Amino acid sequence: MRPAREARAGGPARSGASGEGFRIRRRGGLRVFEADLLAEIPSLRHAFSTRRGGSSGGCFSSLNFSFRQGDEAENVRANWAALSRAFGIAPERFLTVHQVHGNRVWVIDGAESIPTSGDGDAREDAPRCDAIVTNRPGIAIGVKTADCVPVLIADPVRRVIAAVHAGWQGTARRIVEHVCAALEARFSCRREDLRAAIGPAIGPCCYEVDDRVREAMAGLPGLERIFSPRDAPGRWRLDLALANRLQLRNAGMPASRVAEANLCTACRPDLFFSHRGSGGKAGRHFSFLLMDGESGAG
């Protein structure tokens, strides 16, 4: 494991960045991370959850938001209810999708019907995709992760928001660049107005991949910075959060408008679930954002 510094957010930062711009907050009985870049936007509510403050037990202790990993359904419902109370958001306003490790973007505007379940889980008829973009106020769009990279994006000028799930496959398929393109094409967002927060994810200290993954990412910007060789041939450390940060820069976002939590989920089992760190038996975090008020232009 690489040497780490203490981050402002309260945990060890990966080597190479400070993690400044994220703060851990108590919301109700929950502990969540919030990004200063997003917290500065009027009428925007957002959070990157930790595993603390919920009702689940065992390997799902305690704030697990997934019904699909083996946790008791009543515990997961209680966790969603706690999130609802903590942020003053009705349960039926939380919107998730069936995440499939691709680059499809679901864009919601106008009077489109929204398939919410009322308990935080994606309905059977919800889209199979890995990003949600909307200018509809009052909808808490979000993604579930347990090592993959959660990215929350907001345009305070056009009042449009996006939530992105970026595993290695979605990253290889440039999902955040697809989201930036959708924001521009559908809502006339300017790249310089966008703000992005990259939440806690598995770091290069704990994420080892093979040549197949590196080859899949061969065309990404900054490849030599994303991968570092291991002692064993054909093995690499992958900085998945940095890969997405570089894609956002490649898409035209100013560096000052992109914040990274710089916290490794596998290094901090006290704060985070980790699929790799737990051998595949872990709960899921929920990262979301919601814009109050009137709908944006577009």
**Region 78-91 average pLDDT:** 96
In terms of residues, how long is the chain? Answer: 298
Tell me if 142 is assigned to some domain.
yes
Tell me if 108 is assigned to some domain.
yes
Tell me if 150 is assigned to some domain.
yes
For residue range 103-121, what is the model confidence (pLDDT) as tens digits? 999 999 977 778 777 788 8
Q: What is the pTM of this model?
A: 0.93
pLDDT tier for residue 9 given thresholds of 50, 70 and 90:
very low
**Region 169-198 average pLDDT:** 98
pLDDT tier for residue 124 given thresholds of 50, 70 and 90:
confident
d(CA 164, CA 150): 6
Helix, strand, coil shares, percent, the chain, to 5:
25, 30, 50
Does residue 185 register a pLDDT over 50?
yes
What residue numbers bound the domain in which 115 lies? 7-203+254-291
The least confident of 2-11, 76-85, 98-107 is: 2-11
Average pLDDT, the chain: 91
Where are the extended beta strands (E) located within 66-210? 94-95, 105-108, 131-134, 140-145, 149-155, 160-166, 195-198, 208-210
Q: What is the pLDDT of residue 295?
A: 54
CATH of residue 124's domain is 3.60.140.10
Q: What is the pLDDT of residue 294?
A: 67
In sequence order, the 6+-apart residues with CB closer than 8 A to the CB of 102 are 128, 129, 130, 169, 170, 173, 175
Phi then psi for residue 238, to 5 deg, are -115, 125
Tell me if 222 is assigned to some domain.
no
d(CA 265, CA 201): 5
Tally of domains within the chain: 1
d(CA 244, CA 266): 19
- Maximum separation of any 2 CA atoms in the chain, in Å: 55
For residue range 16-69, what is the model confidence (pLDDT) as tens digits? 333 679 999 999 999 999 999 999 999 999 999 999 999 999 999 999 999 999
Q: Which residue has the tokens 């939380």?
A: 94
Tell me if 214 is assigned to some domain.
no
Tell me if 128 is assigned to some domain.
yes
Tell me if 193 is assigned to some domain.
yes
Element (H, E) at 224: helix 223-226
Residue from 298, 297, 263, 292 nearest 51 by CA: 263
**Region 129-147 average pLDDT:** 97
Q: What is the pLDDT of residue 2?
A: 33
Tell me if 185 is assigned to some domain.
yes
Does residue 101 register a pLDDT over 80?
yes
Sign of dihedral through CA atoms 96, 100, 102, 106? negative
Q: What is the pLDDT of residue 153?
A: 98
Sign of dihedral through CA atoms 157, 161, 166, 170? negative
